[in-house]
């Protein structure tokens, strides 16, 4: 890891602490942390399982402090036994959900995991990058090459995470992921519904950014409107609404899309009331004389 591990036995870890104050720029200073949440510096060294448990407990009340343990959690995922690995992976996921910006300080280590040939370690790294990219897409773009290499891996969780990285980074910097158009199209046509779901979510972000860079994705998205998986079906239509709202002139087969939207409701799609009507009205402006 980029930060040196605690001195002493490799099998033991110190409680979460950061004596060098090496954390993200918007992190809360020690003196501003809630009383009783700061890690007990006098605590004895902990075995990996106990260490991870302490990190999780800290994360639930002070994710900023818990962010100092990211390097050690990655080390446990890499070197720990199966039980400790699983616990550390889940702790990293929790941190990513609560405060993904904490991965910024550790981005080089996270990218190294994402680039690993091992499916499991690559997944852990790519998932962290996907979480980070939602708040720091420029920083997460450091791992873009690792994500692109995994876009068609048979390991489903890793493929999903790679697609998420591409979607989040591509939403901010579409020019950097234009080369992934074919792989996103392939995800929309995948046999596994979880991959199709990741595909339509990514498609929605990319087509809402610069659809002209993703012609294959534009063509393939309508195929998902008849998907037999309810969640994929719902997100496919949500992706379409986002596409229409951001770039109506570039939506192909506008009449077909209007007819499609006429047969669904805001309630079915779990979107803001009036969203489907607004999208239809927008597209009809490009089709004078068209009568439903």
Tell me the residue range of the domain where 215 lies.
Answer: 180-292
- Rounded mean pLDDT of the chain? 87
Q: What per-residue confidence (pLDDT) applies to 29? A: 39
- CA–CA separation, 188 and 236 (whole Å): 9
210 is a domain residue: yes
**What does the pLDDT read at residue 7?**
39
Give me the helices (H) in the chain, please.
Answer: 48-61, 63-66, 70-79, 82-98, 107-114, 119-133, 137-140, 144-149, 156-172, 181-188, 193-209, 215-220, 230-246, 254-261, 266-269, 275-284
The H or E element containing residue 59 is: helix 48-61
In a domain, 46, yes or no: no
In-domain check, residue 262: yes
Average pLDDT over residues 243-259: 93
Would residue 205 count as lying in a domain?
A: yes
Given a cut of 90, whether residue 133 has pLDDT beyond it is yes
Q: pLDDT class for 290, splitting at 50, 70, 90? A: confident
Phi, psi (rounded to 5 degrees) for 46: -115, 150
Predicted local distance difference test score (pLDDT) of residue 288: 77
Residue-level pLDDT at 44: 47
The answer to whether the beta carbons of residues 107 and 140 sit under 8 Å apart is: yes
User: Is residue 237 in some structural domain?
Assistant: yes
Rounded mean pLDDT, 133-153: 98
- Whole-angstrom distance, CA of residue 240 vs CA of residue 57: 41
Asked if pLDDT for residue 270 goes beyond 50, the answer is: yes
Counting residues of the chain whose pLDDT is more than 90, the rounded percentage is 81
Torsions phi, psi for 127 (to 5 deg): -65, -40
Give me the pLDDT at residue 287, please.
82
Mean pLDDT value of segment 220-243: 96
Check if the beta carbon of residue 212 is closer than 8 Å to that of residue 205.
no
The pLDDT value recorded for residue 292 is 61
91/97 Cα distance (integer angstroms): 10
Q: Which residues, at least 6 apart from 102, have a Cβ–Cβ distance to it below 8 Å?
A: 23, 24, 27, 63, 64, 66, 67, 70, 95
Q: Which two tokens stand for residue 32?
A: 């501003």
Q: Quick one: pLDDT band at residue 21, thresholds 50, 70, 90?
A: very low
CATH number for the domain spanning 226: value is 1.25.10
Helix (H, G, I), strand (E, B) or coil at 36: coil
Cα angle for residues 188, 194, 195 (degrees, 5° grid):
40
pLDDT at 9 exceeding the cut of 50: no
Total of domains in the chain: 1
Q: Domain for residue 256, yes or no?
A: yes
Residue 128 has pLDDT above 60, yes or no: yes
Tokens representing 216?
């294959």
Q: Once rounded to an integer, what is the mean pLDDT over residues 248-253?
A: 93
Residue 233 lies in a domain: yes
For the chain, the straight-line distance linking the first and the last C-alpha, in angstroms and rounded, comes to 61
**How far is the C-alpha of 3 from the C-alpha of 87, rounded, in Å?**
21
Comparing CA positions, the residue from 132, 68, 124, 125 lying closest to residue 97 is 132
pLDDT at 251 over 90: yes
Q: Is the pLDDT of residue 240 over 80?
A: yes
The answer to which of 15-19, 44-48, 58-62 has the lowest mean pLDDT is 15-19
pTM of the model: 0.84
Is 149 domain-assigned?
A: no
What is the 3 state secondary structure string of 255-283? HHHHHHHCCCCHHHHCCCCCHHHHHHHHH
């Amino acid at each position: 890891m980029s930060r040196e591990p605690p001195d002493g036995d490799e099998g033991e870890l110190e409680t979460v602490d950061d004596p060098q104050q090496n954390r993200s720029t918007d992190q809360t200073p020690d003196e501003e942390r809630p009383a009783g949440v700061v890690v007990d510096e006098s605590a004895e060294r902990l075995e990996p399982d106990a260490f991870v448990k302490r990190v999780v407990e800290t994360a639930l009340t002070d994710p900023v402090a818990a962010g100092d343990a990211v390097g050690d959690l990655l080390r446990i995922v890499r070197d720990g036994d199966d039980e400790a690995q699983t616990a550390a992976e889940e702790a990293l996921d929790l941190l990513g959900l609560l405060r993904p910006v904490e991965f910024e300080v550790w981005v080089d280590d996270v990218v190294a995991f994402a680039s690993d040939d091992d499916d499991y370690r690559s997944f852990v790294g790519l998932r962290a990058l996907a979480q980070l990219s939602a708040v720091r897409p420029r920083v997460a773009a450091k791992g873009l090459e690792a994500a692109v290499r995994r876009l068609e891996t048979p390991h489903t969780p890793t493929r999903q995470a790679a697609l998420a990285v591409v979607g989040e980074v591509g939403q901010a910097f579409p020019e950097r992921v234009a080369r992934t158009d074919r792989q996103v199209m392939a995800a929309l046509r995948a046999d596994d519904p979880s991959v199709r779901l990741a595909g339509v979510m990514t498609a929605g972000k990319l087509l809402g950014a610069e659809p002209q860079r993703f012609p294959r994705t534009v063509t393939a998205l309508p195929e998902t409107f008849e998907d037999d998986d309810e969640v994929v079906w719902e997100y496919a239509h949500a992706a379409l609404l986002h596409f229409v709202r951001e770039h109506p002139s570039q939506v192909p087969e506008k009449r077909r899309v209007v007819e499609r939207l006429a047969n669904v409701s805001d309630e079915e799609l779990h979107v803001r009331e009036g969203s489907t009507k607004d999208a239809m009205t927008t597209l009809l402006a490009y089709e004078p004389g068209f009568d439903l």
